[in-house]
Structure 1
Amino acid sequence: MILKEIVEELAFQLKQRKVINVCVSPTYTAIILDDQSIGVSHTIIDGEIEGVGEIVGKNAYEVVINNLDSNLQRSLSLAVLNAIGDIGQFTQGDPISLYSGNKLCVFGYSPQLTSHNFSTVVTYDFGSNEYKKIGNNEIRPFSSLSNEVCSTAIIFGSALVNNTIDKILSQVSANHMILTGVSSVDSPITLKTHGFEVIGKVFPIDKYRVFRIICEGGTNRILNKYMLKYFKKI
């Protein structure tokens, strides 16, 4: 399970940190660690968080290791994991700009992605059961995924939250792979082992405002005003 490998890679850093604030909204989950770093992930309402009511003040590793089983637990854990990472190691920009080719495959919840560098875009949508075609973008339900071949594959971090990433990696063959999005994690050793070339992350430009927006139920439209895309090659 790739998520457990990520946790073990980041275990040393996690064990140095404590959770000092946490907010689980219907759309996003946010945490603040004791070094004032903030982590964000998608919220998937399914299950119950372990230790709820006693998370603030706990060791970050302990919080993560006890919350890996359900979607809601992983929403919390991915927010903690997302807080680990040095923006100084990243370059501002969208990682998709690095690549071009015949076929781009995208995996996420209704991902809003436009790329003119690829002849065809195939989007596997976690949140839809419909087949649609918009321009050169063919949108398919994720349940239809089977032995896909792509020039480049973009996997959004929500695949870690809903625990589909292992299936994706077993069913997709791509020349280049990117992990990106709000719920992405900076775990270069594990990701490189599994064939990823680039990590994309979204960093807040005003972390306390981002935290408040999430706690107050803000949507992606509002959150995007205070978050910037970054990437690094691994």
Structure 2
Amino acid sequence: MRGYVFISSGAISTKHPKKYPARLQQILNLRYLFSVCSEEDAPINIEKASRVESLDALPKLKSLLHWAVINSDKIVIDDFRRIFRKVPFMQRKDMIKELAAFAPVFWEARYEGRSFAAALRDDLREFITIDGRIKTEIDPDTRELAELGKAPIKMRRRQTQLARISSAEKRSMAADILARKIARIQSELHQDRKSSTLRSVADEANERGLKTSRGGTWSPPTVKRMLDRAKKLENKT
């Protein structure tokens, strides 16, 4: 699956997406659909044209559609109407015929994803008569963000939050494993009738080459924290 963004103004590549809210909204719409379809890493291609009289005016889209046919894949735009609003009224029926040849592989993100064939069946008249600006928000939660041009910042913050949560969970799991190892060392010392004081456990852990969570050596305070953690884990189970 590959995404296709059609713009009629603005830069194709820009470091300031908030200047082009329509372009940004299309990308958000596609990313939302990709996330639903578990295709988060699907590439998105952007093409610009101020007037579209035939499919030849969109060489990138034409190439993508041929690629999709050969590879039995899909090309997804957020809204088919974005293309037709830039096609002169007299050429729209011809444009429909050209795209109909790729109907099985050309999809839009609206209605949770539908093919061009389904769109022709449901909205043929709209493609012929569409005029004016297109506003499509596939995910309602992104509407305000796209209008303000703050979606990338918001998305980065959310990604950072998720990464922090994931990292914290991994650290917690690693600490639990370490706590059980320290508790096992204390138990082994006790079974061997050796001293099982905090200092003895720390010395034994250091002799075995076991490192603390920060890669340091063991001391009575760090051993105590791990033993307390191990007790809490036992109480949970």
Both proteins in one fold, TM over 0.5: no
Please give the TM-score of this superposition, normalised by the length of structure 1.
0.27
Q: Which has the higher strand share?
A: 1
TM (norm. structure 2) is 0.27
Larger Rg, first or second structure (1 or 2)? 2
Higher helix share: 2
